[in-house]
Amino acid sequence: MKILKFGGTSVGSAARIKGLLDIVNPSERQIVVLSAVAGTTNALVEISQAYLVGKKDEAKQLIKQHKDKYESLIKELFTTDQGYKNGKDLIDYHFDFIGSLSNEHFTPIEEKVVLAQGELISTALFHFHLNEIGVPSVLLPALDFMKIDEDNEPMVSYIGEKLNALLAKYPDNTLFITQGFICRNSFGEIDNLRRGGSDYTASLIGAAIQADEVQIWTDIDGMHNNDPRVVKNTTPIAHLSFNEAAELAYFGAKILHPQSVFPAQKYNVPVRVLNTMDPKAAGTLISKDGAQKGIIRAIAAKDNITAIHIHSSRMLLAYGFLRKVFEIFERYKTPIDMITTSEVAVSLSIDDTTHLADIIKEVEDFGTVSADENQTIVCVVGDFGQNTHGYAARVLDAVKHLPIRMISYGGSDYNVSILMDSEYKTEALRSLHNRLF
């Protein structure tokens, strides 16, 4: 079984939805995971924001605008009266439902329900399209098997059990379709895997049912060696290790959801990143043996980082100090990305600032604390193992004209990370690119 995930642009128009069959071979056993049509989730976020602040008229207008786009899409997608009727009933149902929420008390719970509509629509449209042209397919509701626990962690064994049971009901079918991004939480409510989460869905499904391969079909020819939105002349990387790809995704390479490599890595399912607009391009293979000795592979950057500096003379020659500090972050379920220490001070970085004020208040018991927002982690991935030398110097040399806040080296064999003020990110990415590649 293969898992093929198509992102928003890959299902972004009637022509693209029809074009999926150039890539999907209906006679091969596969699960096709779809994102919402490009722009839809952003629109649903806007509608929810309007509802949350009580701007019902604005929400209504946004709903109308967005529904109009789908009206044009279905006119182009379906060629028979019945096909068109299926499409029309579908979008009427979903947009009427979103509209009906204007009468409800709108909370973040309703917001998640609204955000789920995009994937529910795109998968049903593809399924109806396949029906219309006589290609058999089964639509598997992700809300029946994708689940996260009380810590928002996906429940891989549960997903595997439920999904295998569903698949077993259709022994003669080969083509299955399901929604990316959406899931249920521990209360059974509709939830999601965070923005860009369809990649994560594909990898979780691949891991849960031990698929042969996960394919991430997107709008670019693989994982590039730097952010193509910021730097010119980036190039695709043919083969990466799970560790390298996980590091790049976690540290900001938008092409993959930050968590999406971990499930595939844990269950050793190879991931290919491929281009829907150029299906013959080689793309990127991510697998166990993808690392290359002695070279720097790629650069990524993660924004919206907050740096926290704790200065405490109590740290001098003391043990147990860091544990006490880490326990505070643990209690507030706030992951730490980078950390550096000296005799009397520790600096660390976080990206989830939900509990920042509480954390600072508690850490202040240990010493003087300061926090700086608008920081960026620039992450360079490659062979930084103990047997290599000179690479860290090359990285630092490339950013020597920029003020840097923290450096992390030696945490793993394949990454050097640098924290800096976000205003220097573009220059850092360009300078590193020019000097390292």
Residue that the structure tokens 């006679």 belong to: 27
Work out what residue 223 binds among ligand ASP, ligand ADP, Mg ion, none; the CB cut-off runs from 5 to 8 Å by kind. Answer: ligand ADP
What 268-271 contacts at long range (C-beta under 8 Å, 24+ apart), as own/partner pairs, is 269/203, 269/206, 269/207, 269/210, 269/211, 269/212, 269/213, 269/214, 270/212, 270/213, 270/214, 271/203, 271/206, 271/213, 271/214, 271/215, 271/216, 271/245
Minimum separation from the CB atom of position 239 to ligand ADP (A): 14
Q: Residue 259: helix, strand or coil by DSSP?
A: coil
Q: What's the one-letter identity of residue 80?
A: T
Does the annotation list 242 as a binding residue? no
Work out what residue 253 binds among Mg ion, ligand ASP, ligand ADP, none; the CB cut-off runs from 5 to 8 Å by kind. Answer: ligand ADP
382 binding ligand ADP? (CB under 6 A): no
Please, what is the angle between helix 391-398 and helix 425-436, to 10°? 130
Interacting residues of 72 by C-beta distance below 8 A, sequence separation 6+? none
197 binding ligand ASP? (CB under 6 A): yes
Work out what residue 415 binds among Mg ion, ligand ADP, ligand ASP, none; the CB cut-off runs from 5 to 8 Å by kind. Answer: none
Site pattern 141..180 for Mg ion (x: CB under 5 A): ----------------------------------------
Chain positions 266 to 305 lying near ligand ADP, rule: CB under 6 A, are 300
**How big is the chain by its Cα radius of gyration, in Å?**
23
Q: How far is CA 423 from the centre of its chain?
A: 24
Q: What's the one-letter identity of residue 147?
A: K
Site pattern 8..47 for ligand ADP (x: CB under 6 A): xxx------------------------x------------
State the Cα–Cα distance between residues 198 and 206, nearest whole angstrom.
12
Does the annotation list 68 as a binding residue? no
State the Cα–Cα distance between residues 135 and 132, nearest whole angstrom.
8
Site pattern 88..127 for ligand ASP (x: CB under 6 A): ------------------------------x---------
Q: Which residues bind ligand ADP (CB under 6 A)?
A: 7-10, 35, 196, 218-220, 223-224, 227-229, 253-255, 300
**Bind-site residues for substrate:** 41, 119
Q: Which residues bind ligand ASP (CB under 6 A)?
A: 7-8, 35-36, 41, 118, 180-181, 195-198
